[in-house]
Amino acid sequence: MPSRADVEQYADTNRNIRTLVLAVLRALWGQLPHANAIVTRDALLESVPLMVTQYGEVAGAAAADFYDLMREKSAAPGRFVADLADPIDVEDLRGQIRWSITPLFDRENPNPDDALSRLEQKVDEYTLQPGRDTIARSVERDPAKARWARVPVGKTCSFCLMLASRGAVYRSAESAGQSRKYHGDCDCTPTPFWGNDPYPEGYNPDALYEKYNAARTAASSGKFKPILAALRTQTDGH
């Protein structure tokens, strides 16, 4: 059964991984000739997938350890060891790198700061994704019928709060749908549950669902984007 301390500790691990990989990225960025967008692009396309893969393996291993520890604490029946997710799709990441640095190619007003900000978001997202996918894959393959929830921790965006309002209902890729999507600069933490495991202290899906319904009413719409915009306004979120 995951406690608040367990979830916070795992979230701290992910924050540390984020801090390390972004430090490496910024050091690399500081050595590149931003005025030469092509040279910068080519260097990033070569180096960034290597660093993201390396730290992504750490994120995947940390998630597997977290899953196995929570399973042991829950006393789930049978034997099962967390199933590590596949490595990142390097070509997909390279596409995101190209998108991130498009501000460098603006001939009239190149913007290295904007390019770096975009790149940091994508490096953060892709580095931690193997860990998030490890939790989802392990839940799907665990014979003890595990489930997972997106538990808000630290800096959690409105998009994740909306998904967290559903509670521990995700078991397969089909049931998770868009809930398997993440982005950079957010601490929400996929957390496994078994049987009647209680939620960690401070995580109340019903209260979050009330906020979602209030946002839906304020948006006067059942569509995703207007509801999310209203929720951001109500929670001062991002």
Helix or strand (DSSP H, E) at 149: strand 147-151
* DSSP code for 77: S
Q: Is 143 exposed, middle or buried (0-12, 13-18, 19+ CB in 10 A)?
A: exposed
Mean pLDDT by 10 residues, the chain (238 residues): 94 97 98 96 98 97 98 95 94 97 94 97 96 95 95 86 90 66 86 95 92 84 80 70
Question: What's the pLDDT at 170?
Answer: 87
This prediction has a pTM of: 0.92
Question: What's the pLDDT at 225?
Answer: 84
Question: What's the pLDDT at 177?
Answer: 57
